[in-house]
Amino acid sequence: MMATIRQAVAQQNKQATGWTIRLAADGDEVAIRAVAAETWAVTYAHTVRPNNRERVIRQSYATASLRRAFARNGKNIWFWVVENARTHEIVGFAEVVLWAGPNPCAELTRIYILPAYQKKGIGAAMLDQMLMTLTSTQLDDELRPPRLILSVEAHNAPAISFYEARGFRLTKEFIVPLAGQMLEMKEYALEL
């Protein structure tokens, strides 16, 4: 199944856009961490304290943490990177996790594009890739989720506009406690 998914992803992304979306692999960790650090510094400059941004980057983007996700690519996780087709520079990434149980779903756990590359259709292409994968007939029926959910910082207006324009609907608001601060969040869902 893994080879089939990789082939489908590779075939889908032979586009004339100048960007390639592919599954992340060992060796991509440093570039992914750099994208995360730059986008977090800009996106959350006024909402997440610097010490909390640094802690999240250090923990969530540690080499071992990323490699665990990469090892599960095509099973219950898909972790993609988008790279410049000419230079092979990684300019963004996204991760989707499948959750089983009585209310199965897929969760977009992270999607970040370098600020200089935003508003160029890259995020939309990555979302299209996710939706193609999640609705693929190559997924076993019990793995095909009925919805895609995500959480977004409540004051991240550009991201909220992006998701709402693509059909995501607000399902709840909640608070995430971080060291010394409370972060307002919104959960959105898209029925698949």
Q: How far apart, in whole angstroms, are the C-alpha atoms of residue 76 and residue 188?
A: 20
- Closest by CA to 71, choosing from 16, 138, 15, 25, is 25
- pLDDT at position 72, please? 93
Hey, what CATH topology would domain 2-7+17-191 get? Answer: Aminopeptidase (3.40.630)
Q: How far apart, in whole angstroms, are the C-alpha atoms of residue 177 and residue 129?
A: 32
- pLDDT at position 9, please? 44
Q: Which residues are CB-contacts of 130 (< 8 A; sequence separation ≥ 6)? A: 78, 80, 94, 96, 106, 108, 148
For 34-79, how does the pLDDT look when each residue is reduced to its tens digit (9 = 90+)? 999 999 999 999 999 999 999 999 999 999 999 999 999 988 899 9
Mean pLDDT of the chain: 89
Which sequence spans correspond to the domains of the chain? Answer: 2-7+17-191
Residue 70 amino acid letter: F
Residue 17 CB neighbours (<10 A): 14
SS3 180: coil
Sheet holding 147-153, edge to edge: 19-23, 77-84, 90-99, 105-113, 147-153, 181-191, 169-178
Measured in whole angstroms, the distance separating CA 6 from the mean position of its chain's CA atoms is 17
Confidence of residue 147 (pLDDT cuts 50, 70, 90): very high
- pLDDT at position 4, please? 42
- pLDDT at position 40, please? 97
Q: How far apart, in whole angstroms, are the C-alpha atoms of residue 90 and residue 61?
A: 15
Q: What share of the chain in percent tops pLDDT 90?
A: 79
Q: pTM of the predicted model, to two decimals?
A: 0.88
- Closest by CA to 150, choosing from 69, 95, 90, 73, is 95
- In the predicted structure, residue 20 carries a pLDDT above the cut 60: yes
For 120-138, how does the pLDDT look when each residue is reduced to its tens digit (9 = 90+)? 999 999 999 999 999 886 7
Confidence of residue 100 (pLDDT cuts 50, 70, 90): confident
Which residue has 């960007």 as its token pair?
19
- Average pLDDT of 18-25? 94
- Average pLDDT of 155-178? 97
- pLDDT at position 2, please? 39
Q: How far is CA 105 from CA 127, 146, 179, in A?
A: 16, 6, 29
- In the predicted structure, residue 166 carries a pLDDT above the cut 90: yes
